[in-house]
């Protein structure tokens, strides 16, 4: 079984602050996410350049590299989902098996410098996608395969929690 950062449903962070990382999505709007995302992206190259980026702090916690791979893939999945929400009425997102992705893509074996570059590129693409959301589209709907429903606004805030939380993960563990 893979060790993943997301073993429970985090949608509660749309209503209250995360008890672990402290992120409070209720204090921002979706329109503010792109700016905060850009600030978070700036931190990742230094994280992935650490001498111990490949090392797990303990057997049950991902390495900074594995978190970086996951975060890069979050950017890729969420930009596709954002585009679906803009192009279709209330789309259902394909299921993303994060455990399978981590194993199939051998997160622990990837090159930290390559992951850093890809994470920055993909993160900036997501920020640009959010900045391009028309004012009248923030209430458009999309649904996960488990039935959780989001507006683009709540989707963006939920997404930002993932990014902020994983920076908290890599900064607290080392």
Question: Where do the H-state alpha helices sit in the chain?
Answer: 30-48, 64-87, 98-104, 112-131, 152-172
Q: What is the pLDDT of residue 174?
A: 65
Domain-embedded: residue 131: yes
Claim: this prediction has a pTM higher than 0.95: no
Q: Judge contact between 159 and 74, C-beta under 8 A.
A: yes
Query: What token pair was written down for 29?
Result: 């709007």
Domain-embedded: residue 127: yes
Domain-embedded: residue 16: no
Q: What is the pLDDT of residue 146?
A: 86
What is the rounded CA–CA span in Å between residue 127 and residue 114?
20
Q: What is the pLDDT of residue 73?
A: 97
Q: Give the total number of structural domains in the chain.
A: 1
Domain-embedded: residue 19: no
Domain-embedded: residue 46: yes
Q: What is the pLDDT of residue 147?
A: 87
Q: What is the pLDDT of residue 6?
A: 46
Domain-embedded: residue 133: yes
Coil/strand/helix, residue 12: helix
What is the rounded CA–CA span in Å between residue 171 and residue 5?
14
Domain-embedded: residue 152: yes
Structural domain including 90 reads 28-172
Q: What is the pLDDT of residue 31?
A: 97
Q: What is the pLDDT of residue 60?
A: 87
Q: Bridge partners of 105?
A: none
Ordered per-residue pLDDT tens for the chain, 174 residues: 234 444 456 678 899 999 999 999 999 999 999 999 999 999 999 999 999 999 999 998 999 999 999 999 999 999 999 999 999 999 999 988 888 999 999 999 999 999 999 999 999 999 999 999 999 999 999 999 888 899 999 999 999 999 999 999 999 866
Q: What is the pLDDT of residue 173?
A: 62
CATH number, domain of 44, equals 1.20.120.450
Domain-embedded: residue 18: no
């Amino acid at each position: 079984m893979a060790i993943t950062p997301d073993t429970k449903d985090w949608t509660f962070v749309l209503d209250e602050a995360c008890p672990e990382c402290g992120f409070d999505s209720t204090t921002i709007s979706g329109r503010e996410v792109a700016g905060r995302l850009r600030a978070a992206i700036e931190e990742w190259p230094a994280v992935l350049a650490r001498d111990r980026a490949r090392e797990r702090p303990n057997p049950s916690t991902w390495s900074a590299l594995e978190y970086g791979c996951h975060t890069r893939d979050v950017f890729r999945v969420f930009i596709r989902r954002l585009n679906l929400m803009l192009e279709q009425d209330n789309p259902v997102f394909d299921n993303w098996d994060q455990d399978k992705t981590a194993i199939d893509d051998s997160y622990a074996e990837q090159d930290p410098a390559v992951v850093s570059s890809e994470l920055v590129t993909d993160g900036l693409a997501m920020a640009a996608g959010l900045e391009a959301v028309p004012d009248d589209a923030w209430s458009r709907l999309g649904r996960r395969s488990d039935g959780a429903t989001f507006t683009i606004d709540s989707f963006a805030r939920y997404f930002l929690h993932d990014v902020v939380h994983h920076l908290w993960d890599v900064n607290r563990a080392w």
